[in-house]
Amino acid sequence: MESIIFTTDAGMVLAELLDGTQHEDIFIVADKHTVLFCDRLFEKVDWLPSHVTVLDCGEENKSVESVSRIWMMLSKQGARRSSILVCVGGGVVTDLGGFAASTFKRGMRCINVPTTLLAQVDASLGGKTGFNFNGLKNEIGTFSIPEKVIIDTRFLNHLPVRERMSGFAEMIKHGLLSNREYLIRLLNLEHQETTQEYMLELIRRSVTIKNEIVTRDPREQGLRKVLNFGHTIGHAIESLSIMQGSPLLHGEAVALGLVAELYLSVKEKGFPEEIYREVRNFVKQHYPPYPLMNHVDTLYELMLHDKKNERWGVNFTLLSGIGEFSLDNYCSKDLVVEALSQV
C-alpha cells in the first residue's frame, strides 16, 4: 500500500519529505494551472525553477509527446534513480508524471500532489500510470505505486464546480462498491454547504475503499477490475467526446457510464431498481447530457479496445447489489445499446 498523507498544508509536508534531498535532485511536473500553486508549495523547499516541466492542460495532451518532454527535462538536468519527481496537478499530470518516473532509468522516485478531487480520490492513487495512444485512453502505461501521495483539501477551494463533480462521480462509484449508507450520504450532499472537514472525511473514506482493493490486487488480475465499474462505457464515451471535439471531463463520462452499467446490472444481475433510479436522477441533475444514440457503433468499437477484454467481447464488471460485484460479464451488443439509450 502506498503511503498517503492527508493534510491542510501540503507545503509543510513536502518540505519535511524533501528535507535532506539536494535541490538539484528535485524535479517538478505540473500543468499551466497548477504550476501557479508551485511557488507557495515549494516555498519551504527553496525550489529550483529550472527543474520544472509545465504541460499543456487537458486529456488531449496526455500523449507520448508530453511524456517525452518530462523525460527530456530529467535527462538533460541529470536526474538519477534516487532523484524525486513531484507531480502537482490533476489526473493527467499524475498519470504522465508517474509513467515518466517509472520508466526513467527504469524507475526513479515519485511523489504525487493531486490538486483535483478526481486525482485525490482516484487518479493519483494505486499506481496506474499512462497516456493515450492511437485514440485510446491509457493504452500505454505501467503499474507503479508512487512513494507518497499528499492530499491537501485546500486545493479544492480553487476547483471549478464541473471539476468537483467530475471527481464526485468516482466517489459515487466507491459508494456503489462499498455500502449503501456512504452512497446515500453522497447522493444527498448539498455541495454548496460542504465544509472542508466534511469533504476531507468523505475523501478519506473513498481513498480507503480504493486502497483496500488495490492492495489486494495491485496488477488487476481479478478483484481490481471492480474499480472499472462504469468505466467500460465511461471510457468509450470520454473517447467519443474527444473525437467529436467537445471533450467531457473524465468523471462526467464516468457518471454516464455508471448509469449505463447500473442498467446492465439491473437487467443481468438483479441490481435493485430503486437505487439505479436514484443514481440516474442524480446524474441527470448534476452532469451535462451527451448525445450517444447516433454513435452506438463507434462506442461499441471503442469498448472492444478496453484493457479488461478477452477476444470474445466486451468485459463488464456488474453489480448484483451495493458492494456485491460480479467480474468478467460479457453482455450482448443489443443490451449494451439499450443501456446507452437510458443515459
Active site residues: 106, 128, 170, 210, 220, 224, 228, 231, 235, 250
**3-class SS string, 207-257:** HHHHHHHHHHCCCCCCHHHHHHCCHHHHHHHHHHHHHCCCCCCHHHHHHHH
Q: By CB under 8 A, is residue 81 in contact with its own copies?
A: yes
User: Torsion angle of alpha carbons 280, 226, 30, 156, nearest 10°?
Assistant: 40
Q: Which residues from 21-40 bind its own copies, rule CB under 8 A? A: 22, 24-25
**How many whole angstroms separate alpha carbon 295 and alpha carbon 154?**
40
Residues 119-158 as x/- pattern, contact with its own copies by CB under 8 A:
---------x-x--xx-x-xxxxxx---------------
Q: Taking the CA atoms of 148, 225, 189 and 253 in sequence, report the sign of the dihedral they define.
A: positive
Q: How far is the CB of 101 from its own copies (least distance, A)?
A: 11
Is 115 within 8 Å of 160 (Cβ atoms)?
no
Q: By CB under 8 A, is residue 184 in contact with its own copies?
A: no
* Binder of its own copies out of 216, 219, 277, 284 (CB under 8 A): 219
- How many amino acids of this chain bind its own copies (CB under 8 A)? 38
Q: By CB under 8 A, is residue 327 in contact with its own copies?
A: no
Q: How far is the CB of 76 from its own copies (least distance, A)?
A: 7
Give me the phi and psi of 86, to 5 degrees please: -100, 120
**How many whole angstroms separate alpha carbon 4 and alpha carbon 214?**
13
* Binder of its own copies out of 33, 80, 180, 204 (CB under 8 A): 80
Is 262 within 8 Å of 280 (Cβ atoms)?
yes
Q: How far is the CB of 170 from its own copies (least distance, A)?
A: 19
Q: Which residues from 82-121 bind its own copies, rule CB under 8 A? A: 82, 102-107
Q: Taking the CA atoms of 331, 261, 235 and 179 in sequence, report the sign of the dihedral they define.
A: negative
Q: Which is nearer to its own copies, 23 or 32 (CB)?
A: 23
Cell numbers for 292, please give them: 450517444
**How many whole angstroms separate alpha carbon 254 and alpha carbon 237?**
8
Binding region for its own copies (CB under 8 A):
22, 24-25, 64, 68, 71-72, 75-76, 78, 80-82, 102-107, 128, 130, 133-134, 136, 138-143, 219-220, 304-305, 307, 309-311
